[in-house]
Amino acid sequence: MEGRTILLVDDDPHVIRSLTFMLNKEGYETVVATDGEDAMEKLRQLKPRVMFLDVMMPKKNGYEVVRELRSDPDLGDVHVVLLTAKGQEADREKGLSLGADEFVTKPFSPRSILDKVRALLG
């Protein structure tokens, strides 16, 4: 499973179930975090290639996680896909300016998620 681990960070169990199902079905290993602090711990432990990260979360929001992630040289190669229910262009620009690779608005289609993973992993 080298290089096929994806960290899913969202406090909504429905989103986690949906992402886990579709990614596991395609052969990816998924690990779940339910808040930003847990996400940073798992990032440092696992060093996944891709992380799907909700913007609005308890303890540490998605923007704060991206900022911390991008300031850590050991985690610089993790691809970040921000997830948000807010489709505002300003939110997208903020996430990308902090270092996110992609931005997906909820609700999302399974195909769009899988396309993003394939594009990020080459």
- Per residue in 13-32, pLDDT tens? 999 999 999 999 999 999 99
Q: Which secondary-structure segment (H or E) carries 41?
A: helix 36-46
- Does residue 58 register a pLDDT over 90? no
The domain spanning residue 105 has which CATH number?
3.40.50.2300
Q: What is the pLDDT of residue 62?
A: 96
Q: What is the pLDDT of residue 1?
A: 47
| 54: containing domain | 5-121
Q: What is the 3-state secondary structure (H, E, C) of 3-27?
A: CCEEEEECCCHHHHHHHHHHHHHCC
In whole angstroms, what is the distance from residue 106 CA to residue 86 CA?
8
What's the average model confidence in pLDDT over 6-14? 96
Q: What mean pLDDT, rounded, does the chain reach?
A: 93
In whole angstroms, what is the distance from residue 82 CA to residue 121 CA?
16
Number of compact structural domains in the chain: 1
What's the average model confidence in pLDDT over 58-75? 95
- Does residue 2 register a pLDDT over 80? no
Instruction: Judge if pTM exceeds 0.85.
Output: yes
Q: What is the pLDDT of residue 81?
A: 97
Q: Give the rounded percent of residues in the chain with a pLDDT score beyond 70.
A: 98
The angle at the Cα of 113, spanning 53 to 19, to the nearest 5 degrees, equals 65
Q: Residue for token digits 């993973």? A: 117
- Does residue 84 register a pLDDT over 70? yes
Q: What is the pLDDT of residue 24?
A: 97
What's the average model confidence in pLDDT over 107-120? 93
